[in-house]
C-alpha cells in the first residue's frame, strides 16, 4: 500500500506520535478580543487545558513510559508556566504553534514573520532552546511559512496532509521534514462543541471517535505508516476520553513493534536515513504555484 516505505528504528512496524495542541483560551481572545473576558463558560472550558487536562495527560504518558510532543501558542507558554513546567519535567517536547494562534496564511508576510520570531523568543526563554518543529495554527500554513522555517533552522513541520509517511519540503534554499497528519486524526472534527467559537460537532461517545483513531493505527501498523494525532487536551483529556486514550495506548503497546516518539526524534530519524542513503523520500517543492493559475483570467480589482 505504501510504495516507498520508510525503515523505522529497531524494526518497528510504525511510528506513533500522540501530539497535543494546548491552545487554551488563546483562540477565544483571537476570535473575540473585546468580549472574551465576558464569555466565562467558554473560557472555563478552554482553561481546562492547562488546569486539568495537561496534568492528567503527562501522568498518563508517564504511566505508559512514553515521551510526546505538545504544541503551544507562545502566549500560552507565557500565560501558563505551571503547565509548561509539567510538560518539560515529563521529558516532552514543546513545539512552535504561533503566538496567539494567529493564522499565518491570513497575514502579510512581515506580520507572519513577526509573530513567528516572537514565538521562537518565548520558547527559548521558557525551555532554554529554540523549537525544532512547527505546527501552523488551524493548519493555516502560508505560501511563505516554509521560507521562515528554513531561515530559522527548524527541523520539521507538522501542519500538512500530503502523505501517510514523512516527506520533505523544499523551497529551493533548504529543506525541512514534513510529518503529516489529516483531519480524521484531529479530535476537533470528532468532539468540538463551542457555541462561542462556532463549532457544533454532534456529541458522540469517546469510543466512536476512538474507533477512527484505532483503525487508523491498525492500518499504520499493518502497512508501515506514521500515526500522528492532532489532539487538544480540553477534548481528549476529558475524563471519559482520557480513559479511552489509555485503552488505545494499551492496544498499541500490546500489538508491539510500535515506535512511540516525539516528533523531533522522528524528524531526526528521517534526516538520518536520508543522509546515510537507506531511504529516499518524496520531496514537495513549495510553493506549489507562483500565483493563481493562469488558465482562469484574474478578476479586475
| Residues at the interface with Zn ion (CB under 5 A) | 21, 23, 137
Strand ranges in 113-190 using DSSP code E only, listed in sequence order: 133-134, 156-157, 167-170, 175-178
- Tell the smallest beta-carbon distance from residue 137 to Zn ion (Å): 5
**DSSP-derived pairing of the beta strands 69-72 and 93-96:** parallel
CB 156 within 8 A of CB 179: yes
Residue 209 to residue 240: CA distance in whole angstroms = 12
**175 or 190: whose CB is closer to Zn ion?**
190
**137 or 166: whose CB is closer to Zn ion?**
137
- Tell the smallest beta-carbon distance from residue 45 to Zn ion (Å): 15
Residue 125 to residue 88: CA distance in whole angstroms = 13
CB 223 within 8 A of CB 2: yes
Closest C-alpha among 225, 121, 116 to residue 163: 225
**23 or 25: whose CB is closer to Zn ion?**
23
- Tell the smallest beta-carbon distance from residue 186 to Zn ion (Å): 10
Beta bridge partners of 18: 229
Residue 57: phi and psi, rounded to 5, are: -70, -40
**23 or 265: whose CB is closer to Zn ion?**
23
- Tell the smallest beta-carbon distance from residue 160 to Zn ion (Å): 15
**20 or 148: whose CB is closer to Zn ion?**
20
- Tell the smallest beta-carbon distance from residue 283 to Zn ion (Å): 27
Amino acid at each position: 500500500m505504501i510504495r516507498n516505505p520508510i525503515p523505522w528504528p529497531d524494526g518497528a512496524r510504525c511510528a506513533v506520535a500522540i501530539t497535543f495542541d494546548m491552545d487554551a483560551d488563546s483562540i477565544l481572545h483571537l476570535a473575540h478580543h473585546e468580549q472574551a473576558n465576558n464569555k466565562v463558560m467558554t473560557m472555563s472550558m478552554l482553561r481546562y487545558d492547562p488546569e486539568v487536562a495537561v496534568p492528567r495527560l503527562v501522568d498518563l504518558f508517564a504511566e505508559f513510559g512514553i515521551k510526546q510532543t505538545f504544541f503551544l501558542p507562545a502566549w500560552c507558554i507565557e500565560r501558563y508556566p505551571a503547565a509548561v513546567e509539567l510538560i518539560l519535567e515529563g521529558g516532552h517536547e514543546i513545539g512552535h504553534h504561533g503566538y496567539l494562534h494567529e493564522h499565518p496564511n491570513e497575514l502579510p508576510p512581515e506580520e507572519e514573520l513577526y509573530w513567528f520570531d516572537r514565538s521562537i523568543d518565548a520558547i527559548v526563554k521558557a525551555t532554554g532552546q529554540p523549537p525544532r518543529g512547527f505546527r501552523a495554527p488551524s493548519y493555516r500554513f502560508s505560501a511563505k511559512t516554509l521560507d521562515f522555517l528554513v531561515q530559522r533552522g527548524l527541523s520539521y513541520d507538522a501542519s500538512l496532509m500530503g502523505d501517510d509517511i514523512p516527506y520533505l519540503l523544499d523551497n529551493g534554499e533548504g529543506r525541512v521534514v514534513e510529518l503529516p497528519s489529516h483531519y480524521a486524526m484531529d479530535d476537533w472534527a470528532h468532539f468540538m462543541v463551542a457555541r462561542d467559537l462556532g463549532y457544533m460537532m454532534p456529541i458522540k461517545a469517546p469510543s466512536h471517535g476512538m474507533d477512527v483513531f484505532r483503525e487508523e493505527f491498525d492500518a499504520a501498523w499493518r502497512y508501515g505508516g506514521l500515526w500522528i494525532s492532532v489532539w487538544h487536551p480540553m477534548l481528549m483529556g476529558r475524563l471519559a476520553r482520557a480513559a479511552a486514550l489509555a485503552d488505545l495506548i494499551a492496544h498499541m503497546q500490546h500489538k508491539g513493534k510500535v515506535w512511540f516518539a516525539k516528533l523531533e526524534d522522528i524528524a531526526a530519524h528521517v534526516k538520518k536515513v536520508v543522509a546515510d542513503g537507506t531511504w529516499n523520500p518524496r520531496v514537495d517543492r513549495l510553493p506549489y504555484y507562483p500565483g493563481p493559475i493562469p488558465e482562469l483570467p484574474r478578476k479586475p480589482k
